[in-house]
Amino acid sequence: MTQTLTVREALRDAMAEEMRRDSNVFLMGEEVAQYHGAYKVSQGLWEEFGDKRVVDTPITEHGFAGLGVGAAFVGLKPIVEFMTFNFSMQAIDQIINSAAKTLYMSGGQMGCPIVFRGPNGAASRVGAQHSQCFASWYAHCPGLKVVSPYSAADAKGLLKSAIRDPNPVIFLENELIYGRSFEVPTDEDYLIPLGKASIVRPGKDVTITAFSITVGHALQAAEQLSDLGIDAEVIDLRTIRPLDRETIIRSVKSTNRLVSVEEGWPFAGVGSEICTMICEEAFDFLDAPPVRIAAEDVPLPYAANLEKLALPSVEKIINAVKTVCYK
């Protein structure tokens, strides 16, 4: 059984189901309760769960991130919403130094079951401070899991798994796909394990890795490439850390070509990691040097034409695939 849901609704349903299931789960963040979330992701939750479990915070990211981590230390399971992940930079010390490292520094005593979630990456014409992908930032850090779904079904299944996970999870959404609709299983125990990628389009000529909104770009590119006689395999990474190395390596060993796509900057990005991994694990299988598609190495500009130039696009992916296929 499935139903058609937007990503926004799927995320809301995931939280509602997990809050019904476990009274220690609560949601906090700016405008999550009475306003229903700046992007309406928490629609209806305050009405169902009340002030105690859906908590509007002041504008105080560093403070409420730390507060959430402290609450997790004493056994609660906070879902902390950042209105956008850009604002998580105010809180990154608590996320990394407190949430990610304390289990290790305590010799395993201090688990921190917390989810930090919210929209990540570029939105539309909001300028450099509000348009940044944090996938590689957080994926750099041991002690965190980093998830970034594309479809509504994945958004729901992964968020439910993230809430049930005993570790701190960074859950990167994307504002521009909140309104896209997908078929979503209705089963309340529909869980997708963290750390597993998904081959969303099988193919034999080239492997394209992508996550979040860029999965849509990659799928469009693959459709157009098929007209050129190139059969692209598209892998939705879904989880950035731990990365599903096995799925990527197996794919590249069969296609012999790799294009990685992400919305973050290229330097030390997710694509850099994937390309390194392939060089280490599947070098002899490569028929062409891998190519990374990332945001251009600039703060994101406001002007419509420049913004478009700065971000990954279907066209850039097609050109990269042509390059690695020598076409």
- Residues in contact with another protein by CB under 8 A are 26, 52, 57-58, 60, 62-76, 93-94, 97-98, 102-111, 142-143, 145, 166-167
Q: Which is nearer to another protein, 111 or 299 (CB)?
A: 111
Angle 238-244-248 from CA coordinates, rounded to 5°: 100
State how far the Cα of 317 lies from the Cα of 9, in Å rounded to an integer.
30
Q: Which is nearer to another protein, 96 or 153 (CB)?
A: 96
The answer to whether 295 and 133 are in contact (CB under 8 A) is: yes
**How near is the Cβ of 71 to another protein at its closest, in Å?**
4
Query: What is the phi/psi pair of residue 2, to 5°?
Result: -130, 165
- Kind and range of the H or E element at 45? helix 45-53
* Tokens 């992916």 sit on residue: 317
Q: What is the dihedral of CA 86, 88, 91, 92, to 10 degrees?
A: -90
- The residues assigned a catalytic role are 61, 130
State how far the Cα of 304 lies from the Cα of 321, in Å rounded to an integer.
26
**How near is the Cβ of 159 to another protein at its closest, in Å?**
18
